[in-house]
Amino acid sequence: MAKIPGQAAGTEFDEATTGIMRDRSVTRLHLLRHGEVANLEARIVRGQLDVSLSAEGFEQSIRLARWLTTHEGRPDALFGSDLVRCRALGDELAARSGLGYEATAALREQHMGGWQGQAWSIVTEREPELVRAYWDDYVHAAPPGGESFTDLVARVSGWWERESKAAAGQTLWVVTHVGVIRALSCLLLELPPSDALRLAPAAASHTAFLVSEAGAVLTSFGERPWLFGGGEL
């Protein structure tokens, strides 16, 4: 595979590591965040609101898809959120790889309940104590009628447990949201969920893991490799 200098680390475990592994199968997991959403300047609580991408976001999706299919080959499976802002990239990857896009609600963004579709400024003015309580303990607190980050982790963990068993040793592409990438990263790297907000993958970015019985290795996080070339329209 062609590689761009300065991007991801190696994509294989070293000989010493594989030599002591009972099961040498390595799953290659590529997490892809959707592109820029429309009306980004309006600080809206989006959550699972089905918002579209901006014109820039659509262009980013094409560039990321072109880079991925050029430099990472063809995956064994293509999964993703069923929300429209992920479908743009998912459909582009499906067209380029020849695989079907397996859309699932399990990979949606965190549900923000009754706050979805409203400006953060309005929600904060109307319900300051609830908003403060949420940010003071976002791991366990949930918006009214929504999910906490713990709920999101449980949902995503269930999906990963099912799919990882069936796809051991394969290459998976997953088109999803920042919250899901944070949840999976904490799960695979055994980080406490309270560290999740320290992880900030950019829109239209690529995050990659090697996963085996020896644990998970993060080889790329939140990069936008199409900015370095290979993703021209």
* Tens-place pLDDT, residues 164-190: 988 899 999 999 999 999 999 999 999
Domain membership flag for residue 8: no
Q: What is the percentage of the chain residues whose pLDDT exceeds 90?
A: 82
Q: Is 219 inside a domain boundary?
A: yes
- 2, part of any domain: no
Evaluate whether residue 185 is within a structural domain: yes
Q: Indicate whether 12 belongs to any domain.
A: no
Provide the number of structural domains found in the chain: 1
| Whole-number average pLDDT of the chain | 90
Assign 6 a pLDDT band (cuts: 50, 70, 90).
very low
Q: State the pLDDT at residue 230.
A: 54
Per the CB < 8 A criterion, the answer to whether 87 and 183 are in contact is no
- Taking the whole predicted model, whether its pTM rises above 0.85 is answered as yes
* CATH number of domain containing 142: 3.40.50.1240
DSSP 168: T
Task: Decide if pLDDT at 207 tops 50.
Answer: yes
Q: Is residue 9 part of a domain?
A: no
Domain span holding position 55: 26-228
Tell me what the mean pLDDT of segment 4-12 comes to: 48
91 within some domain: yes
Domain contains 18: no
pLDDT tens across 69-108, in order?
999 989 999 999 999 999 999 999 999 999 999 999 999 9
Give the largest CA-CA distance in the chain.
59
d(CA 109, CA 221): 18
Q: Which residues are bridge partners to 29 per DSSP?
A: 172, 209
DSSP character string of 87-156: HHHHHHHHHHH---EEEEGGGSPPP-GGGTTSBHHHHHHH-HHHHHHHHHTTTT---TTS--HHHHHHHH
Kindly list the distances between the CA atom of residue 168 and the CA atoms of 32, 52, 57, in Å, as whole numbers in the listed order.
Answer: 19, 33, 32
Count CB neighbours of 185 within 10 A: 22
Residues 32, 25: Cα–Cα separation, whole Å: 23
Q: What is the pLDDT of residue 4?
A: 43
